[in-house]
Structure 1
Amino acid sequence: MKSIQIEDDLYHFIASQTQDIGESASDILRRLVMPESLLNIEQANNVDAAKSIFALDNSIGSGSASAQSAEQICQASAVFSELEGQQLQAIPKMVERWLLVLSIIHKYHIQQFSKVLGMSGRNRTYFATDKDTLLATGSSTNPKNVPGSKYWVITNNNTVKKINMLKEVAEQVGFSLSEIEQLITILAPEHI
């Protein structure tokens, strides 16, 4: 059996997913991140149950689609877990809610978040690593920093545009379609 170190927030999330008294962290993670087909193969081959399909230290290499998928599921779960505690509907301004959601996505998808730099419209760049780049793309972009990150985003757009931008961000970092729908429901249930 191998040991891994995890941060407190992730530990609390894993512990909150307990379904049976005495369920181990390995059992919880296996249930949360391993597709049923992989579980059946692993059981059929009598593979040691303590081994995980992904290495948290990235030692398995980039060629494993299953490992990347499992890691993305875990990251998305962490995003949703943190969003549950935020009480977004109590935040009156949509732009503040939206920036908070972007910040939490960034927190759990730091490596993938750089993909947002390619997002743009007809005349505007949506994300940059500095305010001036966004100011140069238009006179009314109103750039704001995504809290906790080096990224800046234009904020002078309506709620529907913010929702569409969030969908694209979530897609860029690897959320599934159902996870994207769940994210939008959390951000703006009044627009569903």
Structure 2
Amino acid sequence: MKTIEIDEELYQFIAGQTKHIGEDASSILRRLLNFKQAVSNKTNQAPHKEHHYSLFDDLLQSDTFTNEKSIISRFILLLGALYNYNPALFSIAATSLHGSKRQYLAKDKQSLETSGKNTKPREIIGTPYWVISNTNTARKLLIIESIMSDMGISENMINQVTLAFLP
């Protein structure tokens, strides 16, 4: 498995071509380019798992994450990584996630401010999303776990992220 860097516009295009949950970028590009795969479908499933393990392992082991003691900063870093993993799935998960009285994520600060008192919206850097930051650590974990679950990320990876979340 090789890693390449692409610009945001191209990434959004590729992510927008997803036909089913869990389809990885290689499969999407192969389909779009009509490029036949030389290996079996069983082998084709492994890179997707490796991709998201690698993505989160890279973040969880990064100096930026491990040296960050602020729970809210870790929270925002994780949400950014989830968005970058699959913007389309993140958007679906973010839209469906809310409390009984509060909206947790939105594409603008004002929507969060009007959904409750003292929400303290924070921008999720590198994404079009904002998140409320005035929640306890347990609620932040619930938000992360819920989004990861809705995105189809494995329970094992959710547990790894949960354990790494607390400094």
State if a TM-score over 0.5 links the two structures. yes
1:112 matched to which residue of 2? 89
- Which sections of structure 1, spanning at least 5 residues, go unmatched? 10-53
Q: Equivalents in 1 of 2:45, 2:117: separation in Å? A: 40
1:179 aligns with 2:157: yes
Higher relative contact order (CA 8 A, sep 6+): 2
- Higher-Rg member (1/2): 1
* % identical equivalent positions: 24
Task: For 2:28 and 2:81, locate their aligned partners in 1 and report how far apart those are by CA, in whole Å.
Answer: 20
Q: Which amino acid is 1:7 matched to? A: I
* C-alpha contact (below 8 Å) 1:140/1:156 kept by paired residues: yes
**For 1:91 and 1:117, how far apart are their aligned partners in 2?**
28
Which of 70, 80, 94 is matched with 1:103 structurally? 80
Q: Is the 8 A contact 1:143 1:153 kept in 2?
A: yes
Alpha-carbon shift at residue 70 of structure 1 (Å): 5.0
Query: Are positions 1:121 and 2:118 aligned together?
Result: no
Corresponding residue to 1:86 among 35, 60, 63: 63
CA offsets 1:107-136 (integer angstroms, 9 cap, x no match): 222221102121001101111111111111
Per-residue deviation at 1:71?
A: 2.5
- In structure 1, how many angstroms separate the alpha carbons of the residues matched to 2:98 and 2:3? 36
| Residue of structure 1 aligned with 2:27, choices 49, 55, 59 | 55
Q: Which residue of 1 aligns with 2:122?
A: 144
Given the superposition, is the C-alpha separation of residues 133 and 72 from structure 1 closer, same or farther in structure 2, using an over 3 Å criterion? farther
Distance 1:58 1:76 in 2: 22
Amino acid at match of 2:68: I
Q: What value does the CA root-mean-square deviation take over the aligned residues?
A: 2.8
Partner of 1:162: 140
Task: Provide the TM-score with structure 1 as the length reference.
Answer: 0.62
Paired with 2:139 and 2:4, the residues of 1 have a C-alpha distance of 34
> SS in structure 1 opposite 2:29?
coil
Ranges in structure 2 where 5+ consecutive residues have no aligned partner: 7-25, 33-40
In structure 2, relative to structure 1, the CA distance for the partners of 1:187 and 1:5 (3 Å cut) is closer
* Counterpart Cα distance in 1 of 2:108 and 2:45: 30
Relative to 1, partners in 2 of residues 1:93 and 1:5: Cα closer, same or farther, differing over 3 Å? closer
CA pair 134-72 structure 1, distance change in 2 beyond 3 A: farther
| Cα shift readout 1:45-64 (whole Å, capped 9, x = no counterpart) | xxxxxxxxx6241618xxxx
Tell me whether 89-98 or 122-131 shows the greater mean CA deviation: 89-98
Aligned to 1:22: none
**Count of residues in correspondence between the two structures:** 138
The answer (yes or no) to whether the contact 2:59–2:65 under 8 Å persists in 1 is no
SS in 2 for 1:164: helix
